[in-house]
């Protein structure tokens, strides 16, 4: 589609927006020069269309699940993957990750109707490892909520009880694993979105080291905090899945140039006895903490002690300020990239998705009123901050990241892993349609105080189930050194084995009730 040549009023509006101080006569002089630049725009489009892929024909059906966890279902395999490490295993793909020829909505009316033309790198790797892609799991509206009631067309409900959310934003992914609908699921994590639903649903959720797993082909929020990772029922499955997902793909600037391969599944066999565990003081006793959750995590740490690990309390004061850094990066950065930048933004050397960008750009213009209140908050607050400071507040926050990262690294120089509650509380009830804005936002965002800092710092972090708290799942988060995901998973596996397995999450009966 040719770029329309701006007329006089449009040129005047552009000049006013950028404070260019051009007179009417000067604008008239500029008009032909501006129009002349679009010859290259048209040429680039024609050149791109010559080699752009088209969506393959793949069968799919609208998703049906008693708790609203499926967006669409399918059954995709790669014959070359027969005999691979994931052969015979079914996997759900979070619906912000592209599966070519299968609709992708990203939980949002603004993306509805989009069909990707390329498989995300992670999807290709799962298929090549023998997994069967069983469908796309519902996620929150543009993935910006830690609960699971902002997704279109309906909330994703917790397996027990359904009046509570499954947790976001990888809500459907965790619920499908917890209820046994699939063996494995792929989730995304920018503020805790793999670990939050895992804590609420009683699954294992591993956020890898930043850059370990390529994000290519997933709908971004902010490129410095984007992660993809596994959601499973056991740590062994998480390790097996991470081994399939990890490694560079040459298309994602979030990744280092070289990543040494690690057999995460084999690493679980290495004894963890003697490893040092730091229980982070500042991870407990938040204003919204449930004492029962804090107690369950401390009891879980004692299980590690009984398994031969050295467990001590450690203080990291920076942890209490980390949310301020994340808030600015996630809010101003997402307004700039995810909203104004139509998901991808500019100025990075990765693989873009022009079709998604164009579709979402139109969708925002036509259906922006249907966006969730969390996304509307980000758009208004983040863009206002950008326009007031010109990006300086975002720059300050990014300049603080090395200091924050160093504070965790200093603790990790003394300890092999750090532990704390994944979330301060168990799943609350989904707010009603009459909820105030404050109640809505509190339910959607108030649980991320421990999870979000590690999206900024980039450390690997795994949520594993503790004992139930008031009959509901809760999680202990295990954090490790950069690219030492193997040790995080070893400690998680040791905990799972020492306690004789995780509490069984509620499962669906044939009537759609939970038991």
Catalytic machinery residues: 94, 169, 193
The distance from CA 128 to its chain's CA centroid, rounded to whole angstroms, is 23
Q: In the sheet that 227-232 helps form, which strands lie side by side, from edge to edge?
A: 61-62, 70-76, 132-137, 90-94, 184-189, 227-232, 204-207, 461-465, 475-479, 417-421, 276-280, 310-314
3-state secondary structure of 286: coil
1, burial (CB in 10 Å: exposed 0-12, middle 13-18, buried 19+): exposed
In whole angstroms, give the CA distance from residue 366 to residue 382: 21
Contacts of 386 (CB under 8 A, 6+ apart): 332, 335, 336, 394
The three-state (H, E, C) secondary structure of 335-349, written as one string: HHHHHCCCCCCCCCC
Count H helices, E strands: the chain?
Answer: 16, 12
Cα–Cα distance between 450 and 187 in angstroms, integer? 18
For residue 15, the surrounding DSSP H or E stretch is helix 8-17
Q: Which helix (H) or strand (E) holds 357?
A: helix 354-367
């Amino acid at each position: 589609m040719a770029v329309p040549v701006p007329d006089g009023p449009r040129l005047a509006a552009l000049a006013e927006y950028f404070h260019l101080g051009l007179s009417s006569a000067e604008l008239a002089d500029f008009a032909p020069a501006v129009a002349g630049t679009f010859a290259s725009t048209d040429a680039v489009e024609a050149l791109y269309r010559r080699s752009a892929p088209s969506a393959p024909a793949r069968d799919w059906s609208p998703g049906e699940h008693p708790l609203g966890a499926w967006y669409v279902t399918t059954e995709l395999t790669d014959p070359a993957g027969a005999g691979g490490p994931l052969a015979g295993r079914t996997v759900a793909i979070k619906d912000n990750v592209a599966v070519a020829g299968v609709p992708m909505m990203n939980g949002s009316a603004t993306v509805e109707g989009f069909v990707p033309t390329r498989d995300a790198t992670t999807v290709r790797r799962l298929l090549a490892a023998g997994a069967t892609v069983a469908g796309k799991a519902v996620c929150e509206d543009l993935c910006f909520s830690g609960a699971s009631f902002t997704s279109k067309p309906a909330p994703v409900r917790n397996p027990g009880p359904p009046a509570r959310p499954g947790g976001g934003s990888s809500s459907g992914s965790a619920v499908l694993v917890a209820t046994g609908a699939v063996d494995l699921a792929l989730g995304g994590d920018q503020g805790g979105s793999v670990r939050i639903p895992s804590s609420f649903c009683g699954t294992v959720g591993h956020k890898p080291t930043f850059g370990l797993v390529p994000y290519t082909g997933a709908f971004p929020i902010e490129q410095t905090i984007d992660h993809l990772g596994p959601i499973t029922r056991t740590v062994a499955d998480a390790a097996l899945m991470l081994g399939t997902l990890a490694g560079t793909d040459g298309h994602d600037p979030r990744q280092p140039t070289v990543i040494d391969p690690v057999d995460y599944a084999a690493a679980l066999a290495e004894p963890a006895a003697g490893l040092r565990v730091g229980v982070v003081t500042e991870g407990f006793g938040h204003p919204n903490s449930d004492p029962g959750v804090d107690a369950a995590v401390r009891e879980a740490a004692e299980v590690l002690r009984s398994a031969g690990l050295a467990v001590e309390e450690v203080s990291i004061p920076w942890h209490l300020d980390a949310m301020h850094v994340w808030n600015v990066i996630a809010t101003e950065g997402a307004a700039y990239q995810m909203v104004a930048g139509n998901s991808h933004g500019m100025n990075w050397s990765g693989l873009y998705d022009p079709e998604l960008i164009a579709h979402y750009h139109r969708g925002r213009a036509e259906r922006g009123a249907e966006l969730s209140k969390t996304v509307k908050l980000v758009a208004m607050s983040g863009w206002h901050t950008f326009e007031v400071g010109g990006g300086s507040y975002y720059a300050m926050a990014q300049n603080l990241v090395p200091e924050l990262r160093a504070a965790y690294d200093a603790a990790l120089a003394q300890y092999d892993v750090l532990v704390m509650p994944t979330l301060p509380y168990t799943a609350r009830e989904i707010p009603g349609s009459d909820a105030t804005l404050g109640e809505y936002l509190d339910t959607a965002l108030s649980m991320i105080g421990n999870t979000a800092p590690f999206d900024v710092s980039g450390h690997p972090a795994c949520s594993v189930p503790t004992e139930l708290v008031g009959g509901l799942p809760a999680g202990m988060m295990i954090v490790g050194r950069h690219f030492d995901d193997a040790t995080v998973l070893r400690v998680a596996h040791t905990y799972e084995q020492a306690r004789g397995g995780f509490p069984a999450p509620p499962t669906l009966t044939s009537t759609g009730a939970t038991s």
